[in-house]
Structure 1
Amino acid sequence: MSNIGGRTERLLPARSVWTTSMVWWHTGFYVALASVSYFALFSQEPDPNTPLAVAALLLLAAAYPFLTRTQDLRTAKPTLYVVLLVAVVVFLSFVYDGAGVLLFVAFPQVWMFTASQRQGVVATALLCVGVAAGQISRWGLEGTEVYGISAQLVTSFVASCMIGLWISKVIEQSEQRAELLAELEATRKELNEAEQARGALAERERMAREIHDTLAQGFTSIAMLSEAAQAQLRTLPAMGAPDDRDLGLMHSLTAISQTARDNLAEARSLVASGVPSDVQGGDLIAALRRLPDSMHLDGIRLTVEVPDTVQPLSSTQQVALLRTAQEALNNVRKHSGATAARVLVDVRSSASQQRLRLTVTDNGCGFDPSAVHSGFGLKSMAARLQEIHGELKVTSTGAGTTLTAVVPVAPVRTTAHATTTETGNAP
Structure 2
Amino acid sequence: MLQRPQRGDPFWIWLLHSWDLLAWAVIGLLALITVLGGTPGPQKYGSLALMAVLAAANAAVRRWGRRRPLGGYAYLALLVPVLGALAYLRDGYGVLYTVTLVQFVIYVDSLRGALTASALGAVAITAGGVLREGWDTDTLTKNTISSLGVYAVSVLIALLTPRALELRDERARLRAQLASTQAELAEALRREGAARERARMAREIHDTLAQGFASIVVLAEAARAGLAGDPDRSAAQLRSIEQTARENLTEARALVGSGPQIAPGSVAQAIRRTVERFAQDTGLAVEADLPDVDCDQPTRIALLRCAQESLANVRKHAAASTVGVVLAEQPYGVELEVTDDGRGFVVGDAPGFGLDGMRRRLAELGGELTVTSSPGDGTRVLAVLPLGPGGPAPVPPARELESGAPTHDSQV
TM-score bucket of the superposed structures, by smaller chain: 0.3 to 0.5
TM-score by length of 1: 0.45
Which structure has the greater CA radius of gyration? 2
The structure whose residues are more often strand, as a share, is 1
Structure with larger RCO (C-alpha < 8 A, sep 6+): 1
TM-score by length of 2: 0.46
